[in-house]
Amino acid sequence: MNKRWILVLGTFIFISVSSSLNACDVCGCAVSGHQFGILPQFQKHFAGIRYGYRSFKSVHPPLFSTDTEKISREYFHTTDLWGRYVLGSRIQLFGFVPYHHITKTENGTSIIQKGMGDVTLIGLYAIINQLKSENGLWTHHLQAGGGIKLPTGASDYITIENEWIPGIQQGTGTADFMFNANYFLRYNNVGLSTETSWRINSRNTKHDFQYGRRTTSSIRAFYVIHMGEKSLMPSIGTTLEHSALDYHEGADVALSGGYGLYGHVGMDFFSSGFTAGISIQPVISQNIANGNLISGSRVNAQFAVLF
């Protein structure tokens, strides 16, 4: 075989391998976490619904100088059925059942994926259980625990171009492990809530893909406005999300991982029977997938019945 044919064959193999590795390198939801927010009355069970909106602009770099840069946009609407069961004075069990509506648009063509996602079960233990100071003005509370995300969502969608894109699947196809710690400090009507969560992802053996480990940390300051037996609680803060590199077909995915720093402005309403809230998270700073994935502002809302 002469050198010219070796070069042609080598180029063909390189294109094939590069397409396999890079076709899905950049896609929305590359950085994500799982957090509770400011929880309502610690001693009560609750069941409710919450909604989250995420959007991304993905820049797909050309493989060769003759190629053109491609841009896609991804929109994620997630509605969770979630609840808490209080088991004794210190143990709380949480469950999350998500429903996803995902849209990916590129070159005027849209892919829409919708359906049930991965169910998550988490247990938290109160290390410091609503401890009050002698004068009753200070209260603090520390919880820590973990759980598992089950592979209940579909994860085998293939595009008409015969591509498997991990970022638009309804599930990951893996059982992943969650760890969470949150701390609550309040002085009279002013308080501070901090939370950190970690997600250790397993490998999807069918597609030889593994998301990098996720870390999400947030801090929020709040003020309680009493209205008889009801109360309003405005809050402000930040959330930092970080992801390690993903893994696909024997190598790290170069255009993956990174961080996103988001602001937080929210308002929650509490009564003896239910709670509701909404928050907006504008982007402060980000570097996701080496700048090829650009996150938009986020919106979250929740409603829960206490019993």
Among 204, 92, 184, 210, smallest CA distance to 146 is for 92
Residue 204 has pLDDT above 90, yes or no: yes
Res 72 pLDDT > 80: yes
Q: Which 3 state secondary structure label does DSSP give 139? A: strand
Distance of CA 77 to the CA centre of its chain: 12
Length of the chain (residues): 307
Residue 203, CB-side half-sphere exposure with 13 Å CA sphere: 12
pLDDT at 23 over 50: no
For the chain, give every domain's residue range.
Answer: 43-306
| pLDDT grade for 27, boundaries at 50, 70 and 90 | low
Q: pLDDT per residue over 35-53, tens digit each?
A: 788 877 778 999 999 999 9
Average pLDDT over residues 222-249: 96
Report the pLDDT value the prediction gives residue 14, as an integer from 0 to 100. 39
Q: Which pLDDT score, from 0 to 100, does residue 34 have?
A: 67
| Per-residue pLDDT tens over the stretch 7-18 | 444 443 333 333
Structure-block tokens of residue 269? 């309403």
**How far is the C-alpha of 201 from the C-alpha of 151, rounded, in Å?**
11
Q: Return the closest-CA partner of residue 235 out of 217, 222, 251.
A: 222
Tell me the fold of 43-306: Porin (2.40.160)
Contacts of 149 (CB under 8 A, 6+ apart): 34, 118, 119, 120, 172, 175, 176, 177, 178, 199
Nearest to 219 by CA among 197, 198, 239: 239
Indicate if the pLDDT at residue 56 is higher than 60.
yes
Contact indicator for 298, 278 with CB cutoff of 8 Å: no
